[in-house]
Structure 1
Amino acid sequence: MCSFITQIAYGIMMLITLGLTAGGLFSENWVQAPDGSSKGILCGANSFTTLSKNTADFCPGWWDNIKVFERVTVVCLFLAIIFQILGLVWNFITICACCCKKHIIHPLSAISLLNVIALAIAVIVYAINSNTAINDIVAALGTVGQGSMGSSFIMECVALGMAILCTIVASLAICFAEKCV
């Protein structure tokens, strides 16, 4: 019973982590300029151009125009989303497998740890290079003053904290499942 309750808590926490990760990745507020305007790391919806009636190109040249640290951040965040979905699916499978749960639940903590690693790399790489991103938006807009990190970056930091908690809860669920509690 305790492993079931712990897995329910894990599922709720992982859903929150997934929401924070996706929300931060797809929002346009990674860096804020002093005038209040902001910049995202993904291409915006206004970058959609139609080439002909049958084809469309979303954000032409976007990947080539972003810096390496932004590429690393985007790739790591997409990997984190994949690990989060995989963790939710595996958690659901092990909840449904009552009789053999103690034998198949073990990958849950490894998936959660991979999620933490992907999120940590994304947050650390972007934090180290945040001055470059802030200076780029201030220079592009020609504003005077200091820019700052936006709410999207903060969401990813909170997602990292939630991912760490998910890993701890997954380990507890494994301990409870092994003891058939």
Structure 2
Amino acid sequence: MCLSRLGQIVYGSLAFISVGLILGSMFTPGWRQFKVKVNETLQEAESKLEVPKDLNMGLFPFLCQMPNNLTHATNQKQTNVEYCEKWFNSRPTYEKVVVGAMVAGLLAAGVSFVWNLVTFCACCCKGTIFRPLPALAGIAGLCLATAVLLYGYKNQQFIEKINQIEDLKHVENQNAVSYSFYLACGAMVASFANLVVGSLIVCLADKYL
């Protein structure tokens, strides 16, 4: 019984960490980072202009960070939001799959956290109500693994899409995943760890309850 309780505490902690990492990953603009340059002629004309160094993209258009001086450098009237919407609309299908997988992973991790609280407070039938814990953690882990592996594999191909947008010719062919991606990786590891912890909880419950 004590081991089962300890397992639930560990499970709840990992589920909480996983939810936090997923939220941090989804709502920060660090999934993709581009290196940005400004045309040399424009640099000469704007001698006081600070050349922007990079551009960060999130999973959603409102999570795009365009350097403010970039629109001045290119003498365009488009705002940062308009730039980011162009990028968002030009995304390939796989990125939409990534968003869906992240949302599904968040839901599964959230339900696992809530269900663990329910089982922790329950007074009876613990052997039965423990059983969804490893399944929920496994679903969350698989969803996050799908998002992480697909995004990591396909990321380099996205630069070809960007090069087809006339207004974004100043973006160099340097495209790398950034911190939000690694937050998702951390959430995936926490979820798979919870799969193991949840399985142990069920085994202990079957043996001692």
Shorter-chain TM-score range? 0.7 to 0.9
Q: Structure 1: state its 5+ residue gaps.
A: 47-58
Q: Is the Cα contact below 8 Å between 1:31 and 1:150 reproduced in 2?
A: yes
In the other structure, the counterpart of 1:25 is: 26
RCO higher in structure (CA 8 A, sep ≥6): 1
Quickly say closer, same or farther: Cα 1:130–1:145, change in 2 above 3 A: closer
Q: CA RMSD in A?
A: 2.5
- After the TM superposition, which residues 1-181 of structure 1 pair with which residues of structure 2 at under 5 Å, given as runs? 1-34=2-35, 35-44=53-62, 65-136=90-161, 140=168, 142-144=170-172, 146-180=174-208
Q: Which runs of 5+ in 2 are unaligned?
A: 36-52, 65-83
Q: Which has the larger radius of gyration?
A: 2
**SS of equivalent residue, structure 1 residue 41:** coil
**Secondary structure at the residue paired with 2:135?**
helix
Q: Normalising by the residue count of structure 1, what TM-score does the alignment of the two structures yield?
A: 0.83
Q: Aligned pair count?
A: 169
The answer to whether the 8 Å contact 2:92/2:158 transfers is no
1:56 aligned partner:
none
| Partner SS for 2:30 | coil
Question: Whole-Å Cα distance in 1 between the matches of residues 107 and 176 of structure 2?
Answer: 29
- The 1:65–1:146 alpha-carbon spacing in structure 2 relative to 1, beyond 3 Å, is closer
Q: Offset at 1:4?
A: 0.8
Identity %: 30
Do the aligned partners of residues 24 and 136 (structure 1) sit closer, same or farther apart at CA in structure 2, a change above 3 Å counting? farther
Contact 1:135/1:147 (8 A) holds in 2: no
Render the CA deviation track for 1:95-129: whole Å, top value 9, x for unaligned: 11132101211111111111111111111111111
Q: 1:177 to 1:19 in 2, by over 3 A?
A: same
In the superposition, the TM-score normalised over structure 2's length comes to: 0.72
